[in-house]
Amino acid sequence: MAASSDDPSPTDGEGDKIPVSRVKRRRHRPLKVANQIPQRRRKEIEKALEEPGSTPKKWSRSSDWKSHRIGRKLVKPGTIRQIEFDLMDIEIGESWPIPITVVHGTRPGPIVTIIGAIHGNELIGPLALTYLQSANIMGEGMAIDPSSVAGTIRIIPIVNMPGYRRSTRYMSDGRDLNRFFPGKENSNTTSRVAHRLWSELFSTSDHIIDLHTAALGRTNMPQVRANLANRLSNRSARAFGIELILDSEGPKGSLRRISDESGISCITYEGGGSDESDPESIQVALYGILNVLRGLKMIPGYPSRPRFRLLASGSVWIRSDYGGLLDVLAPAGSFVEEGEVVATVSDPENPGQMMDVKSPTQGLMICSATHPFVTTGTPIGHLIPITKAVKTVQRRLDEEGLLVLSGTDGEPPWREDEEIEDISVEGVWEGGSPDAEWGDNLRAAAEEEADEA
């Protein structure tokens, strides 16, 4: 029988069947982009992507592929090594060693540095990077197998060790490390640490993935921030496979801003809140990191793509007009309508009264307050207004109106097989095997029984 024109199993032109899922993704279901970026900025980005950038590095000279060096420590090709790196290079006193895991591949490729806890109390990064190194993901035959990696992956779960030890965002001198890059050798403590990190680790990277959470008192829906006019950052941000990308340059002195200015690709992932663990944010981080590594062709496979992508360049703040205690009804990740009550405020000093906080517009809550105490003017939510492709976004909402993010359906990759409860169902297969009674296998089953006897 001749295939009809809408045969669902197309070929690649040489008669070989392409796996249907890939074909569907690439040809029949073009990625929908709800583009929220104003036209002027969009043109800027397009122009930057068209410009012939600096000559791309060639990774083909395999004879040049030597051990990877950090300070005096060497990592041989095809191996994983954990080393310690001192935030301070000093003769006496606390040098603040931080652990770095280096996966040095067997083939030439880019150097990717993945970091967590540049803000010491943002724990999603350290958790995700610990799980990234678990036996389910890293090792022989796993997603990150040093014998098949191209390039070098440097994993630093905790950058700001002094802050992490004290459960604070800041360095020991109270400064924000992510505002002092590229740092100075002879300045204050934080600036010196920034300088050492920048000169020894970050400036020698091709790509940086910087994992963050919201600051204390709020929580972020998983999202990526990148300067989309930097072609490499743009590529990494898209490869991450996430629904929401915020186009921004990063604050002054931030690692992202300085990396961008130095021609190094850097994306920031934000998910969850400070001082808390959030399995979904961790799962999306892991999913995204593996996607970026696939996108850079450092590990095998194709990056997974989201159903749609919101490219946002602006947002709306929702503030409380009342003082009191907050009850958030539409947490980060909720899709809300214009005029919808997103939170209520009650005042213990005036019992019996409850005031509504309404959303000024239709959109997606990308950040919400977790601390209940508010005064008038306190932001309680951060909203991306959505005016285009509303249906596309709505189709991915769960029954509570929360966006279901790519990478969150299915079991978290760090769950070990041993944790799964085996439930025994007693019985005997009629006819000797699960499908035997359907007919085809009757004879085979009878033969099997005869063999066993």
256 belongs to the binding site for Zn ion (CB under 5 A): no
195 belongs to the binding site for Zn ion (CB under 5 A): no
Token pair, residue 217, equals 């008192």
Q: How far is the CB of 213 from Zn ion (least distance, A)?
A: 6
Considering only residues 53 through 82, tell me which ones interact with Zn ion, judged by CB under 5 A: none
Only one of the segments 79-87, 212-220, 371-379, 424-432 lies at the binding site for Zn ion (rule: CB under 5 A); that segment is 212-220
Q: How far is the CB of 377 from Zn ion (least distance, A)?
A: 23
Which residue number, 255 or 445, has a Cβ lying nearer to Zn ion?
255
The amino acid that residue 375 corresponds to is: T
Q: Which residue is nearest to Zn ion (CB)?
A: 212
Q: How far is the CB of 33 from Zn ion (least distance, A)?
A: 27
N- to C-terminal Cα separation, the chain: 46
119 belongs to the binding site for Zn ion (CB under 5 A): yes
Q: How far is the CB of 267 from Zn ion (least distance, A)?
A: 13
Q: How far is the CB of 366 from Zn ion (least distance, A)?
A: 15
Q: How far is the CB of 212 from Zn ion (least distance, A)?
A: 3
For residue 211, what are the contacts with CB-CB under 8 A and spacing of at least 6?
Answer: 114, 115, 116, 117, 122, 124, 125, 128, 129, 268, 269, 271, 285
257 belongs to the binding site for Zn ion (CB under 5 A): no
Which residues lie across from 154 on neighbouring strands?
A: 102, 113
The size of the interface with Zn ion (CB under 5 A), counted in residues, is 3
Which residue number, 212 or 218, has a Cβ lying nearer to Zn ion?
212
Q: How far is the CB of 270 from Zn ion (least distance, A)?
A: 8
Only one of the segments 2-10, 111-119, 130-138, 370-378 lies at the binding site for Zn ion (rule: CB under 5 A); that segment is 111-119
Return the number of other C-beta atoms located less than 10 Å from residue 443's C-beta: 10
212 belongs to the binding site for Zn ion (CB under 5 A): yes
Only one of the segments 67-75, 189-197, 210-218, 420-428 lies at the binding site for Zn ion (rule: CB under 5 A); that segment is 210-218
Only one of the segments 112-120, 145-153, 351-359, 375-383 lies at the binding site for Zn ion (rule: CB under 5 A); that segment is 112-120
Site string for Zn ion, 137-156 (x = CB under 5 A): --------------------
Token pair, residue 135, equals 């036996």
Site residues for Zn ion per CB under 5 A = 119, 122, 212
